[in-house]
Structure 1
Amino acid sequence: MNNKSTDPLRYIAGYAPELKAQIQAMIDKQTLAGYLAKKYPKSHNVGNDKSLRNYVMDFKNEYMKKSAPLSKIAFDNKIHVVHNALGLHSYVSRVQGGKTKSNNEIRIGAVFKKAPAEFLQMIVVHELAHLKEKDHNKAFYQLCQHMLPDYHQLEFDMRLYLVQQEINAQ
């Protein structure tokens, strides 16, 4: 097995050994890519920061109207996918004159510019949920499922997508 930093299975490291073995078998048989392509045949058409902002704001307005406003929404080439696989949310405080101004920002890894539509949707839901729940706790996941009922399956499949992207890059 590869070392931890180059092992594509690191994206599913927290899952049960039996499940990881099933995924490894799919990798060995070279069937993972086909499985994902069949299950998620369409990529999204959100190709730039402006369209991403509109996409995120549509979700926010539908599910989280009363949450804090977002000052920045963008794809980010600098996000390291292993550590921030789903994107990055930040609460930025800046001093302007004598006042402190706070902004919420959402940045999504540029690797997801060509991802299946369902994965971008899942990532957006995840990052929006952080506006209300900062930690990955029960309330956070309940909010994610409220916005996207099959959230957990999509998160797992998105991780499989990252595994396949890593394999493709080798």
Structure 2
Amino acid sequence: MPIKSASQALKPKTDISQLITSADIKKRQSEQSALRYLSGYQPDIVDKISQLVDTKTLGAHFLTRYPKMHDIRTDKALYDMAIELKNTYMRQSDPLAKVIFDDKINLSHHALGLHSYVNRRQGNKVKAKNEIRISSRLKHIPFELLQMVVVHELAHLREKDHNKPFYQLCTFMLADYHQLEFDMRVWLVAEEVGQSPYAK
């Protein structure tokens, strides 16, 4: 009977390609943490999105609803869009001095856009100006979702808190606001798990 060499004796009997590695665990944790964007939604809805993530079909599924990105690439085009919405629905609200894309807004901090009230000195006078900054990452999403974020920030001109009047104002400006907010959250999940529907 032949004697097994030391290397043969230590050879595993299972297929090591099937073993779970630390990279697999980290990837799974990342996918689960991405679902935090959907906290508060019905468990069955979250389960459906989770299944799409698991089967790596979330990006393709998203494209069936939103097949193309918007073409608003400049701050001027973004400002014009915001002013048109404001003049249509919030003409009596405070003026809007600036609307720009901002590279510094980080999506991972649940910030897609920011509304700020900036005091600026002009001579002996201090003038307050409203500004809206939208994450530059939102240059590569569907128009409907960009519009939803702009509406959200415009609503803050009148309502500072996320209260009932705030969401009433959002839906007054954009009837399907809540559906679009959900779809934006699905896009965020897809981005975080590496299944971007609009890979550049």
Give the Cα separation in 2 of the matches to 1:10 and 1:116.
Answer: 22
Aligned to 1:120: 146
Number of positions where the alignment pairs a residue of Structure 1 with one of Structure 2? 169
Give the Cα separation in 2 of the matches to 1:166 and 1:93.
Answer: 36
Give the Cα separation in 1 of the matches to 2:108 and 2:167.
Answer: 20
Give the Cα separation in 1 of the matches to 2:60 and 2:179.
Answer: 17
Give the Cα separation in 1 of the matches to 2:111 and 2:29.
Answer: 20
Give the Cα separation in 1 of the matches to 2:195 and 2:186.
Answer: 14
Using the size of structure 1 for normalisation, the TM-score is 0.91
**Residue 169 (structure 1) shift:** 7.4
In structure 1, the gaps of 5 or more residues are none
Residues 106, 112 of structure 2: 8 Å contact kept: no
**What is the aligned-residue identity percentage?**
52
Structure with greater Cα Rg:
2
Runs of 4+ in structure 1 over 4 Å off: none
Alignment of 1:2-17 (within 5 A): 2=29, 7-17=33-43
Alignment of 1:1-170 (within 5 A): 1-2=28-29, 7-168=33-194
* Higher deviation after alignment, 12-21 or 129-138: 12-21
Give the Cα separation in 2 of the matches to 1:84 and 1:103.
Answer: 24
Q: 1:104 to 1:83 in 2, by over 3 A?
A: same
What RMSD, in angstroms, separates the aligned Cα atoms of the two structures? 2.0
Question: What CA deviation, in whole Å up to 9, does each residue of 1:84-105 have, x standing for no partner?
Answer: 4331111112334432210100
Give the Cα separation in 2 of the matches to 1:140 and 1:99.
Answer: 31
Q: 1:141 to 1:30 in 2, by over 3 A?
A: same
Q: 1:32 to 1:162 in 2, by over 3 A?
A: same
Q: Does the residue aligned with 1:7 lie in a helix, a strand or coil? A: helix
* Higher deviation after alignment, 48-57 or 13-22: 13-22
Using the size of structure 2 for normalisation, the TM-score is 0.78
One-letter identity of the residue aligned with 1:111: R
In structure 2, the gaps of 5 or more residues are 1-27
Question: What CA deviation, in whole Å up to 9, does each residue of 1:22-74 have, x standing for no partner?
Answer: 21111111221122101011211101111111111111111111111111110
Residues 86, 126 of structure 1: 8 Å contact kept: no
Question: What CA deviation, in whole Å up to 9, does each residue of 1:114-140 have, x standing for no partner?
Answer: 101110111111111111111100000
Residues 11, 82 of structure 1: 8 Å contact kept: no
Give the Cα separation in 2 of the matches to 1:78 and 1:97.
Answer: 30
**Residue 81 (structure 1) shift:** 1.1
